[in-house]
Structure 1
Amino acid sequence: MSKKVSLLSLHTFSVTGGIQKMTRIMAHSLYSICKEQGWDFKLSSLYDIDDDHQEQYIPRKNYKGYQHSFVRFIADTIFKEKPDIMILTHVHLSVIGLLNILINPKCKIWLVAHGVEVWRPFNLQKRLLLKRCDKIICVSSYTKQEMCRRHNVSPHFCEVVNNVIDPFFNPPATFERPHRLLYKYSIDASHTILFSLTRLASSEKYKGHDNVIRAVSKLKNSYPNLRYVLAGKYDEMEGRRVKDMITNLGVEKEVIMTGFIEDRDLTDHFLLADLFVLPSKKEGFGIVFIEALACGLPVVCGNADGSMDAIRNGELGTAINPDSEQELEEEIIRAINARPSSQYRRHLQQQCLAHFGETQYINHLQQLLTISLNNTINTKSQVNNE
């Protein structure tokens, strides 16, 4: 009898963000596995609509958007689908997992743990889910550590499965700076370009872009060709705060805020830069770091969160104390004095793709699925024999 694997999300296609990107990648990988094994696969998104679907990730027939209809979401995912494995991509879906355990007790429940959403106290239903789920997929070693420390979860139930490069992300074949962006941002070959890409939200003050701006203000007189491109969607409050900071520090010429960047333009922005720098404190993993590396761009990140997995504990990038202005300035000066060669960028790219390609991700997920489904079969056999 064909096995059924269900992937449940809050948003998948309608929102851009690390969790949503990871969900799209996981959906593509799970669909590939299920297709090869002859299993059924379904992706259900609570807040998306059907038209949000992106065909390249999974066929339309394997996806359903529920437009905030919680009742229909429950009816279909629990009563209609009756999966053998249900994978929850966010802890906010805990009530679905608990209901499914009551109604379909033989179904295996997996929870994906990303970052800040699980680094805080849980309410009763979330605590119950942790006790009842069969596997917690942690996107980094740091997230696994925090799950065990904060929620007293046994390490035995946690599996570290690092995020990987989107299969539809196109790494560059060459490493020349795009002329259109040089023109757009009034940059030339003499400039050393720092680049950050992150969501700028007034509720999230841990990304580290403030520190970079301050570092640029201190270094601008000694290094007048230094430029900092700060990219990412920002809310009104944070946008105003950062712009005021730029004005107050007198770095209007040195700091360029781009706002939201379309996916099709990401590679060119990575190619524009000499260093990707984001000394964050609360990254669950940081897909943006491996995207930068996949474009051959050297990375500086913080050493206090899941970013360490993205740079393989220093093998692929440099980690600094996110609160140390001195360490940050030293890395910026190092980038100014030794801009990366095409040969070095090619090496970074190759190493990144070797460690964070979808093939490795698929193999890891398939191994976990096979073990889980075999355990289900063995449990059913024991029940039948009894």
Structure 2
Amino acid sequence: MRRAEAQNDGTLFLALDTYGRIGGIQRFNQRVIAALAEISGDNGWKQPAVHIMRDGKADIPETTAAAIRAFGSWRLGFIVHSAVTAQSCKILFLGHINLLPVGLLCKLLSPRIKLVLFVHGDEVWNDPAHRRMRFYEPLMARALSRIASVSAFTASRMQEAFKLPHEKFTLFPNAVDDIDRQPQKSGRNILAVARLDRHDRGKNIDALIKAMVLLKRRNVECVLQVVGEGPLRSELASLARELAVEERVELLGRVSDARLAEAYSQACLFAMPSSKEGFGIVFLEAWLHGLPVICGTQDAAVEIITDGVDGFAVNPSDIETLAERMAMLLADPGMAAAMGEAGVEKVRSRYLMRHFKGNLEKIIAELS
């Protein structure tokens, strides 16, 4: 990008709640803001502008190198100020498909601006169980210069649903921050970390509980620990009691960061045979703790996990195979450790902040 242009034409990032809530998209948005600020600082460009709906002023951190403005529930103010700010920007990043109408308005008022939409998963799959595509979205999406998808799986689902050309999409994986790993303690815990809202049935935590029945019959000593809160927690507890494995299933609810780190250190494998992952950042986090992982075969997780190398991919409906893979890792600590280390190397070579920033720099360069 030419420095003179960058100084005169900035970037604008529009996002929904980013600091006021905890979640995958929220952490992604925070990473985008940090990366844009670093890129601008590295090149001597002006601060990126960031407008956030739903967050209040009190939610915004004081130490940030971006010009962040929070609009709370003031939707009209968000729209008007975004349209005005966009007139002095060259690239407008949209953090969610729901912001597409605002992006199109900015494009109509400033035709030269380039629109980039970040997509994460089921919000663009046109799956009635999660979010139906709005009738106007395919037409509006034609105005996008790039669609930055966290996975090829999500890009393919959106391309099919929205009837968009393949050329609009670019792969933009999520990332994690490296950690100082705690020493692994000798234990036989199987760990799962997931939200337990009603729309998260596709995480298939119930399949893990059913697999625990088979492991109990085979006298495989282990405990399934599930970190996460939501309405499904009580349903899962009832299922464990019904299947007579309640002594082998611990539903820990929402825990502190320190308690979560302890749970990772006490686990010997991480399992979540989901069928709704748009990317699967939980597997990256498990790898950083040195754990082998078990994912599902019906979503984007299979793009990340190499079956038999850094984990196993199992159809969540195949409870027998799921139990077998869990038993294999429990029975062979050496294999489990080797898979976990392979996962650590994969994260450090592909999925850290420097890779995220580099991918964002590439998009900016291509559109400048």
**2:137 is the counterpart of 1:132:** no
Cα separation, 2, equivalents of 1:231 and 1:48: 26
Which amino acid counterpart does residue 200 of structure 2 have in structure 1? E
Contact 2:220–2:327 (8 Å) recurs in 1:
no
Contact 1:114–1:285 (8 Å) recurs in 2:
yes
Which amino acid counterpart does residue 141 of structure 1 have in structure 2? A
What pairs with 1:205-284 in structure 2 (closer than 5 Å)?
205-223=201-219, 225-235=221-231, 238-284=232-278
Cα separation, 2, equivalents of 1:268 and 1:45: 34
Q: Quick one: which of 157, 161, 169 aligns to 1:158?
A: 169
Cα separation, 2, equivalents of 1:98 and 1:14: 26
SS at match of 2:48: strand
Q: Quick one: which of 34, 38, 41 aligns to 1:32?
A: 38
1:81 and 1:262, CA in 2 relative to 1: closer, same or farther beyond 3 A? Answer: farther
Q: TM-score, normalised by structure 1?
A: 0.86
Q: Which residue of 1 aligns with 2:117?
A: 111
1:142 and 1:41, CA in 2 relative to 1: closer, same or farther beyond 3 A? Answer: same
SS at match of 2:191: strand
Query: What per-residue deviation string (whole Å, max 9, x for no partner) do you get for residues 89-141 of structure 1?
Result: 11011111111111111111111111110011422332222111110001001
* Structure 1 runs not aligned, ≥5 long: 178-188, 374-386
SS at match of 1:84: strand
**2:75 is the counterpart of 1:70:** yes
Cα separation, 2, equivalents of 1:7 and 1:363: 17
Q: Point out 4+ residue stretches in structure 1 off by more than 6 angstroms.
A: none
Residue 16 of structure 1 deviates from its aligned partner by 1.4
What pairs with 1:341-356 in structure 2 (closer than 5 Å)?
345-356=340-351
SS at match of 1:331: helix
Equivalent pairs, count: 354
Identity level (%): 24
Which amino acid counterpart does residue 302 of structure 1 have in structure 2? G
**Further displaced range: 260-269 or 4-13:** 260-269
SS at match of 2:21: coil
Which amino acid counterpart does residue 309 of structure 1 have in structure 2? E
SS at match of 1:144: helix
Q: Which residue of 2 aligns with 1:357?
A: 352
Which amino acid counterpart does residue 268 of structure 1 have in structure 2? E
Residue 274 of structure 1 deviates from its aligned partner by 0.7
What pairs with 1:319-334 in structure 2 (closer than 5 Å)?
319-334=313-328
Cα separation, 2, equivalents of 1:63 and 1:155: 33
Residue 51 of structure 1 deviates from its aligned partner by 1.5
Residue 244 of structure 1 deviates from its aligned partner by 1.1
Query: What per-residue deviation string (whole Å, max 9, x for no partner) do you get for residues 286-337 of structure 1?
Result: 1111011111111110111111233257653321112211220111110110
Contact 2:13–2:95 (8 Å) recurs in 1:
yes
Contact 1:316–1:352 (8 Å) recurs in 2:
no
Contact 1:293–1:348 (8 Å) recurs in 2:
yes
Query: What per-residue deviation string (whole Å, max 9, x for no partner) do you get for residues 71-92 of structure 1?
Result: 1111221113532111111101
* Structure 2 runs not aligned, ≥5 long: 127-131
Q: Which residue of 2 aligns with 1:182?
A: none
Q: Which residue of 2 aligns with 1:318?
A: 312
Query: What per-residue deviation string (whole Å, max 9, x for no partner) do you get for residues 125-184 of structure 1?
Result: 32222111110001001011111222211110000111111x3x5241x4323xxxxxxx
Q: TM-score, normalised by structure 2?
A: 0.90
**2:339 is the counterpart of 1:339:** no
Q: Which residue of 2 aligns with 1:176?
A: 184
Q: Quick one: which of 5, 9, 13 aligns to 2:15?
A: 9
1:220 and 1:28, CA in 2 relative to 1: closer, same or farther beyond 3 A? Answer: same
SS at match of 2:202: coil
Contact 2:209–2:240 (8 Å) recurs in 1:
yes
Contact 1:274–1:297 (8 Å) recurs in 2:
yes
After superposition, the CA RMSD in angstroms is 2.0
Which amino acid counterpart does residue 52 of structure 1 have in structure 2? D
